[in-house]
A and B are shown apart, each in its own frame.
Chain A
Amino acid sequence: GNSVTQMEGPVTLSEEAFLTINCTYTATGYPSLFWYVQYPGEGLQLLLKATKADDKGSNKGFEATYRKETTSFHLEKGSVQVSDSAVYFCALEGGAGKSTFGDGTTLTVKP
């Protein structure tokens, strides 16, 4: 079956630091890949997505590139802010209607 493995947290960074959260996946075929963000006390929100190999998703300064050769979809941001503190989930949807989520990575950004 499908699976998503993402970098274990928690991750603590200083403001303006560079962020990478690693995500790799196992799936048959060509899944769509997503990053969701969950702020404290809220539901998950779609952050960005990519639907085919070499696509780059981007939003709010975050980027991730769909790498089929390495089955990866790493999340990056060049300069994090305190307001980016949240839990980040990597996910895929392989066409069977059931999204598979990673275990989440908690990011804390300190001023």
Chain B
Amino acid sequence: DTAVSQTPKYLVTQMGNDKSIKCEQNLGHDTMYWYKQDSKKFLKIMFSYNNKELIINETVPNRFSPKSPDKAHLNLHINSLELGDSAVYFCASSLAFGQGNSLAFGSGTRLTVV
């Protein structure tokens, strides 16, 4: 059983398109995140949800819109994709918010915008 699963694993799309990435965790964790990893492997947090509520919203273009229908799911929708959006996007979860907990990561979605 995969603890944090995200789909799709690969996404190749043209500039200007809209795409979504889905994430689900079966760990019973309260908090979920989206991270972006660039080509140099730098990791940057984008969003965090705790029990379906948006808690962290870093400086991310408003073309990126997360949605959490329940605490086990966190999806990411991206409008009007740009070349600079090409990266690997990781979903992650933690047991609870702000208590020094570790993160469980999904295997990533490699987004390529052409």
Contact = CB atoms under 8 A, between A and B. Distances in A.
Interface residues of B, number: 25
Given A43-B90, A43-B107, A89-B43, A97 B98 contact: yes
A42 B100 CA distance: 24
Contacts of A106: 41
B42 A93 contact: no
B12 interface: no
A49 B102 contact: yes
Contact of A96 (B50, B98, B106): B98
B45 A32 contact: no
Interface size class of A (residues with CB under 8 A): 20 to 34
B27 interface: no
A8 to B, nearest CB: 11
B100 A46 contact: no
B83 interface: no
B66 interface: no
Nearest to A32: B100
A45 B3 CA distance: 12
A106 B100 CA distance: 25
Contacts of A103: 40-42
B99 interface: yes
B67 to A, nearest CB: 19
Contacts of A34: 102
A43 B23 CA distance: 13
A93 B100 contact: yes
Contact of A97 (B40, B43, B50): B50
A58 interface: no
10 contacts: A32-B100, A32-B102, A42-B107, A43-B4, A43-B106, A45-B105, A49-B102, A51-B100, A96-B98, A104-B43
Interface of A: 31-32, 34, 36, 38, 41-46, 49, 51, 87, 89, 93-99, 101, 103-104, 106
